[in-house]
Amino acid sequence: MNRFIQILVLGVAFVSATCSAIVDNLRCEYLVNPLGMGAAKPRLSWIITSNRRGERQTAYQILVASTRKLLDDDQGDLWDSGKVG
């Protein structure tokens, strides 16, 4: 599951690089960098900050992939939440 979190972090970091906001304080089941997860549907959370006035998150998509290359190609072979929002 630790690999899952690492790849998830890479995916969120990639998304944040494409906009002016910064994604910070990534958590899974309220934990930062958990080593394992017992939940079948873990709760994910993050905080978005921006220097631009009025900027806000309107949607998200979480991709989980087995390799960085798949994430770079916008493909989640392990999980794709689809666009939410």
Alpha carbons 58 and 63: distance in angstroms, whole number:
17
Q: Can you name the residues that pair with 28 across neighbouring β-strands?
A: 31, 44
**Gyration radius from the chain CA atoms:** 13
Q: What is the pLDDT of residue 34?
A: 84
What pLDDT tens digit does each residue of the chain (85 aa) get?
A: 555 555 555 555 445 445 678 888 989 899 988 887 788 888 999 998 888 888 888 888 888 888 889 988 988 898 888 889 8
Closest CA to 6 of 28, 29, 22, 21: 28
Q: What is the pLDDT of residue 38?
A: 83
Q: What is the pLDDT of residue 4?
A: 56
Burial of 41 (0-12, 13-18, 19+ CB in 10 A): exposed
Alpha carbons 14 and 9: distance in angstroms, whole number:
8
Q: 3-class DSSP state for residue 69?
A: helix
Q: What is the pLDDT of residue 30?
A: 92
